[in-house]
Structure 1
Amino acid sequence: MYGELESNFFLLVKLNKDKAFKLVFDAYWDALYKQAYKKVHCRDIAQDLVQDVFVGLWDKMELLDAEGSVLAYLFAILRNKILKLYEKDEVRLRYAVSVVTDVVPADLHSQNSILEKELKAVIDAEIARMPLRMQEIYLMKKEDDLSIKQIAEDLSLSEQTVKNQLQMAYKRLRTRVTAYDSSLVMLTLFIAKHL
């Protein structure tokens, strides 16, 4: 199945780049997404990773070796992107640990303050990544403390649309915080051990 698809891909690249891309995108998106999700346990991050993989494919389509496997190439790009994501998270954790150990907080309140700042940074980053309408609705609810009815009226939306957007925003935040939770637990244990 994949052999024929890939030979068609290499023929199409020369004739119609858009069709070649769509052929591979439709065939391989799900497999790449499942692999990414298995590694990062976050739908949004997995989708972003796979999207980046296909952007990389688009940029290099004409340079691919017709003897090679497109699927193997895509999985290799995905693996590299996941490793870079892990490295970035590890660097952030190491930095947080180094700041904490350099400061050596004198009491539990100071430790909690540092952890709260790290968690706030994670939450703020996820809010910034939300689609604009979702972000706007979330901030109106969270910061302006408006009711769902008020938000719906202000934005000329149905109350159900506002509820749906808030549910998706909360889900994104829960997922992101959960992904960072293990890092924060490790940091807390490290702090407690070194005081």
Structure 2
Amino acid sequence: MYQELDSNFFILVKLNKEKAFQLVFDAYWHPLYKQAFKKVQCKDIAKDLVQDVFICLWDKIDLLDAEGSVLAYTHAILRNKILKLYEKSEVRLRYAVSVAANGVPADQYSQNIILEKELTSIINQEIERMPPRMREIYMLKKDDDLSIRQIAEDLAISEQTIKNQLQMAYQRLRDRVKIYDSSLALLALLLTKHL
């Protein structure tokens, strides 16, 4: 199927660019997602990476070499996006470590403050990316310190739904932190007890 799509893709692009793109999207989205998830171990980040791949494909669709493979091209884009993600994470961590080593007294307390700030930033970004209802429930629990029963009553939904939403929110936060250095993951465990 992929070979046939690859060989007909450039003909389809000339006839109907949107249709050609939709066919590639439908055929390649799942394999690209599986590859991205295998590398980053986070569903949301994997979905974002695949979305970025297709945005890049759309932007370059008229410039692609008609002799090339669209599947190979999309996998190459994905690989580069994943490498950039890893590089960005590594750069942020190296910066935090260098600031701790050079600009602040080298004690455990100072390093923990820097790591805590970095982790708080990561957590806040993920909270902003949560679906609105999940974010609302999470914030009622975290900021207002309401019980599950109180949240359920306030929002007029079942306690089980609240538990499920909180569990998914906590899982999203854990998954997001996993892609960062293990020292941040350890700090995340300490902080999530307070969340």
TM-score range, shorter chain: 0.7 to 0.9
Deviation at 1:185, TM superposition (A): 7.7
Secondary structure, counterpart of 1:63 in structure 2:
coil
Partners of 2:137 and 2:15 in 1: CA distance: 45
Deviation at 1:144, TM superposition (A): 0.7
Give 1:125's aligned residue. Answer: 125
Q: Cα deviation per residue 1:76-135 (whole Å; 9 max; x = unaligned)?
A: 111111111112111101110111012343643333333322222221222122222221
Partners of 1:169 and 1:32 in 2: CA distance: 25
Higher mean C-alpha deviation, range 150-159 or range 83-92: 150-159
Give 2:135's aligned residue. Answer: 135
Q: Which amino acid aligns with 1:39?
A: K
Deviation at 1:145, TM superposition (A): 1.2
* Structure 2: unaligned runs, 5 residues or longer: 187-195
Structure 1 residues 75 and 183: CA distance shift in structure 2, 3 A: farther
- Map residues 1-195 of structure 1 onto 2, 5 A cutoff: 1-105=1-105, 107-182=107-182, 184=184
Higher mean C-alpha deviation, range 21-30 or range 8-17: 8-17
Deviation at 1:64, TM superposition (A): 2.2
TM-score for the superposition, normalised by structure 2: 0.83
Secondary structure, counterpart of 1:35 in structure 2:
helix
Deviation at 1:181, TM superposition (A): 4.1
Deviation at 1:69, TM superposition (A): 0.5
Check the 8 A contact 2:127/2:135 in 1, yes or no.
Answer: yes
Would you identify which runs of 4 or more consecutive aligned residues in structure 1 move more than 4 Å? none
Q: Which amino acid aligns with 2:129?
A: R
Number of residue pairs the alignment of both structures matches: 186
Higher helix share: 1
TM-score for the superposition, normalised by structure 1: 0.83
* Structure 1: unaligned runs, 5 residues or longer: 187-195
Secondary structure, counterpart of 2:179 in structure 1:
helix
Q: Which amino acid aligns with 1:172?
A: R
Check the 8 A contact 1:9/1:20 in 2, yes or no.
Answer: yes
Once superposed, what is the RMSD of the aligned Cα atoms?
A: 2.3
Partners of 1:155 and 1:16 in 2: CA distance: 47
